[in-house]
Amino acid sequence: MKFLFDLFPVILFFIAYKFSDIYTATLVVIAATFFQVIYSKLIHKRVDKLLIFNAVLISILGGTTLWLHDANFIKWKPSILYWLLSGALLFFHFFKKKNLIKNLMGQQIQLNEKTWNQINMTSAVFFASLGMLNLYVAFNFSESTWVNFKLFGITGLIICYAILIGVLASRANHK
């Protein structure tokens, strides 16, 4: 259910783009993201740090897209988000000696430290690669292709990656 909640602004962005244009879609995704923040605060009494960061990022890059009437800014948003996530995973791993993936999921899954570190490092590489792939599609294909990729391609890759991590975690638990 949380996955659908997280995907809500992207789905609305896609729909708004299909019925209008990139600028209307950008306005819709900004509004939907702020709705997510308000909903989380009212219903769950807390807002995830990643959601707050995403709201700030979408406001800055989306706002700049609308202000300058230049869609290139909104195209950078997923890449910046994924690169910062990758950077955070690496920073905490190497400098703080903390595994962010383990901190997020450690109560649901019991794994040895080596497996947690492998998941953390592969996640950092995955998100860095996803950021590069987003820019490749954004600036080498049509805007419409990028919008489709943003919803279906990126979401599909994240789902496949999550399944792969689940399989690897399951194998590690059975050893």
- How does pLDDT run across 104-125, given as a tens digit for each residue? 887 888 889 999 999 999 999 9
Provide the token pair at 125: 């590489």
**Residue 151's pLDDT band (boundaries 50, 70, 90)?**
very high
Q: Which residue has the higher pLDDT, 1 or 15?
A: 15
- Distance of alpha carbon 126 from its chain centroid, rounded? 11
Task: Tell me if 147 sits within 8 A of 14, measured CB to CB.
Answer: yes
Task: Show Cβ contacts of residue 173 under 8 Å, excluding neighbours closer than 6 positions.
Answer: 109, 110, 111
**Residue 171's pLDDT band (boundaries 50, 70, 90)?**
confident
Provide the token pair at 112: 């040895």
Task: Show Cβ contacts of residue 146 under 8 Å, excluding neighbours closer than 6 positions.
Answer: 75, 137, 138
Tell me, what's the pLDDT at 175?
A: 65
Provide the token pair at 7: 């995907």
Conformation bin of residue 21: beta by default, left when phi > 0, alpha when psi is -120 to 50: beta
Tell me, what's the pLDDT at 123?
A: 97
The count of residues in the chain is 175
φ and ψ of 70, to 5 deg:
-135, 110
pTM: 0.91
Tell me, what's the pLDDT at 146?
A: 98
